[in-house]
Amino acid sequence: MTINQFLILGSLLFSLGVYGVLVRRNAVAVLLSIELMLAAVNINLVAFGSLLGDTLRTGHIFALFVITVAAAEVGIGLAIVILIFRNRASANVDELDLMKW
């Protein structure tokens, strides 16, 4: 296994996530795309941790941290989406222009 195959798969998944974040209008779908991007980051980190001969396994540890932060992000993000939906009866991100100058 070369390390580059994992890096290319990671970049492909990350760019899919970027496309989803830009093109989706529903806030939950945007959060889904962010999860895809975080999964791509995890693939890169674990590949680094396994294939570079790192005895400290830094990549694996960082992947665990990324998973933790992603769980926190989803919890807060969905709470905010539900709050916005309760106040404005819509979860579309392009209708949330309250802070637009």
Partner 1 sequence: MSFGDWIGQSENIVFLVIGVVMLVAGFWVVTSRNLVHAVLMLVLALAGSAALFLMLGAEFVAWTVVLVYIGAVVVLFLFGLMITRAPLRRDPVSLDHARRWPAMLVAGAVFATLAYATTAFYGWKEGAAVTPSPTGDLGDLLFNRFVIPFEAVSFVLLAALIGGIVLARKDPRE
Q: Which of residues 3-42 bind partner 1 (CB under 8 A)?
A: 3-20, 22-29, 31-33, 35-36, 39, 42
Residue ranges in 35-94 that form contacts with partner 1 under rule CB under 8 A: 35-36, 39, 42-44, 46-47, 49-53, 56-57, 60-61, 63-65, 67-76, 78-83, 85, 91-92, 94
Question: Contacts with partner 1: how many residues (CB under 8 A)?
Answer: 71
> Smallest gap, in angstroms, from Cβ of residue 28 to partner 1?
5
Question: Are the C-beta atoms of 96 and 88 separated by less than 8 Å?
Answer: yes
Q: Residue 36 or 98: which CB sits closer to partner 1? A: 36
Q: Which two tokens stand for residue 39?
A: 């999964």
Q: CA-CA distance, 16 to 14, in Å (whole number)? A: 5
Residues 6+ apart with CB under 8 A from 93: 24, 25, 26, 27, 30
CB of 13 to partner 1, least distance (A): 5
Torsion, Cα 84 89 92 98, to 10 degrees, reads -60
Is residue 96 a contact residue for partner 1 (CB under 8 A)? no
